[in-house]
Amino acid sequence: MSKHLTSAVCLTLGALALGSLAAPRPAAALPDMIVRTDILERQWVVRDEKLDANFCSVIEGGVTPGLRRLVRFTVMTANVGDEDINIGDPRAHFDANDGLYEFATCHQHFHFRNYALYQLIDPHTGKVWKAAKAGFCMLDTDPNPTSVGGDPPKNPTYRSCGDLTHSGNQGISHGWSDTYRFFLGGQYFVLDGGDGQDPVPPGDYVIRITANPPFKPKNQEPCRALDTATGLCHNFAESDYTNNVGEVLVTIPDHPGKTGVGPLAGSDNPLKDEPNEH
């Protein structure tokens, strides 16, 4: 082989090698969680409601039973990414002690840790009240409309929460949402101080929902997905962590009564039994 040909071959191979290094790698397919603010702003109510001492949300949330002033609300989290959130059987995660689940003795099932953060915020002072809601189970409950996800969803995949004696299969498929309806256990903020927090005066407030919220690990808690932009951890990886927050403005009146005030005023109340968490 001539020197000129050899040089040409080397140059060609070098260019190919450089090209392969310079070519961008395709991004890995990942889920992407958003909070459906359109649902949240249409599904809330402030009302006076009796909470029985045997309600698990009362027991687990440290709420004093009796007539309490609440703001109830629906939370719908949609997976608009390119991949499923695939969690699987919660018992397997609990047995592995990987930080995803804890066992709830009142409900006798597993609660997903750090699934969503519920906050009620005074926009004037920044004061924050928290809800005692514990995440329970991720399921395909509602297909996303094309206006939200873009693509029509496939058939639901994740349909079983599981417990100590039954296997579960948890997650949220691409194109599906997981919904916690306003009437379920713990879907409320206590406004009258009955949960040990300061009473919430009448006025305008912001309900802020953060899905898959960031956290700093404590006590050797595993960091399952690190956001390099913030240095904070999440329980599962997403293509975009910046769109995980949904906020709506709600008005808390002086005397909402048992019928209530808000878009869901007049809905069934009081609840004779606290429905399951999903």
pTM score over 0.95: no
pLDDT digits (tens, 9 = 90+) for 91-137: 999 999 888 998 988 888 898 888 899 999 999 999 999 997 767 78
What mean pLDDT value characterizes the chain?
A: 88
Cα–Cα distance for residue pair 72/270, rounded to 1 Å: 12
Contacts of 224 (CB under 8 A, 6+ apart): 98, 99, 100, 233, 234, 235, 236, 237
Cα 123 to the center of its chain, rounded Å: 22
pLDDT digits (tens, 9 = 90+) for 242-274: 999 999 999 999 999 999 999 999 987 656 678
DSSP at 249: E
What is the chain's Cα-based Rg? 24
Place of tokens 């496939």: 154
The amino acid at 15: A
Question: Would you list the DSSP string of 108-130?
Answer: TEEEETTSEEEEEE-TTT--EEE
Query: For residue 6, what is the enclosing H or E element?
Result: helix 3-22
